[in-house]
Amino acid sequence: MSAVTQDTSVSTGRVTRAFIYLVLILFALFYLLPLYVMVVNSLKPLPEITGGNMMALPREWTLEAWGSAWSTAQIGVSPTGLKPYFLNSIMMVVPAVALSTMIGAMNGYILTKWRFRGDVWVFGLMLFSCFIPFQIVLIPMARVLGMLGLAGSVPGLILVHLVYGIGFSTLYFRNYYAAFPTELVRAAQIDGAGFFRIFWRILLPVSGPIAVVTIIWQFTNIWNDFLFGASFGGVNQPMTVALNNLVQSSTGVKEYNVHFAGAILAALPTLFVYIVAGRYFVRGLMAGSVKG
């Protein structure tokens, strides 16, 4: 009797698991449907899109739309394509992510292992900066960039994203370092290690998981930003602004294949980052939540 009951429960468990997997697969397919439409139509010539079914596979496979979106599509008044704006985004994102991550790690180290009077208020103000809407800082930031002579430049965009990202990076590292044994820091001080030596030799080597979380978070936010790029980019606009201009500059017949190809090109860097480091992202979040 027990064997029959056990077989029944096993069968029920398998059916339940199969049903859950089926539901998850259906949701995944539904979620990936827009990506399928973008990829398929970016590989079609324009007449096949306007005169056919956008869900159908290409009858004539071509990469012409990709080449046009990258180097020959008209953006604004000149046929420059997305290439120079892609490079602008790279030159903006890499320094901004590196600097905000390093400064956030240093802030987290100071706020947890080098306590001082008013440190709670300092952390509270930095935490408050994470909730300030982008629109509120546009005018003050424009005036600051103007006074510094950085308006309409890539260094200006780096400064904007650095300032806005320090609050988030400080929050991540502060919570991660909060449960790190303070006794190790005190022992290093007794042995004669100074401020920076403790940071470089003790804390930073164990910060890999939370550093990955910060890098992915910052990279995604900065790369996908449109408001700051449109407001402060000037002639050095990032990829997202150029993509919007590409779609808006089309007159007459819309080149949907070029637009789809441009959108995929704009999304490839963040997709690459998640593919390479995505498994460490969840691991880092869990480590921070447990330690914090």
Domain membership of residue 47 (yes or no) is: yes
Instruction: Give me the pLDDT at residue 157, please.
Output: 93
Query: How crowded is residue 92: how many other Cβ atoms within 10 Å of its Cβ?
Result: 27
For residue 75, list its beta bridge partners: 78
Of the residues 23, 53, 72, which one is the last residue of a structural domain? 72
Instruction: Give me the pLDDT at residue 107, please.
Output: 92
pTM comes to 0.83
- Quote the CA–CA distance of 174 and 176 in Å, as a whole number: 5
Instruction: Give me the pLDDT at residue 27, please.
Output: 93
Instruction: Give me the pLDDT at residue 4, please.
Output: 54
> Is there a single domain that holds both residue 56 and residue 107?
no
Counting the structural domains of the chain, the total is 2
Both tokens of residue 231? 């407001």
- Using CB atoms within 10 A of its CB, is residue 42 exposed (0-12), middle (13-18) or buried (19+)? buried
Q: What is the CATH number of the domain that holds 137?
A: 1.10.3720.10
- Quote the CA–CA distance of 18 and 16 in Å, as a whole number: 5
Instruction: Give me the pLDDT at residue 1, please.
Output: 46
Domain membership of residue 256 (yes or no) is: yes
DSSP 199: I
Residue 106 near residue 165 (C-beta atoms within 8 A): no
> Is there a single domain that holds both residue 52 and residue 101?
no
Q: Amino acid letter at 251?
A: T
Which regions of the chain are under pLDDT 70?
1-11, 76-79, 250-253, 278, 281-292
Instruction: Give me the pLDDT at residue 291, please.
Output: 45
> Is there a single domain that holds both residue 238 and residue 160?
yes
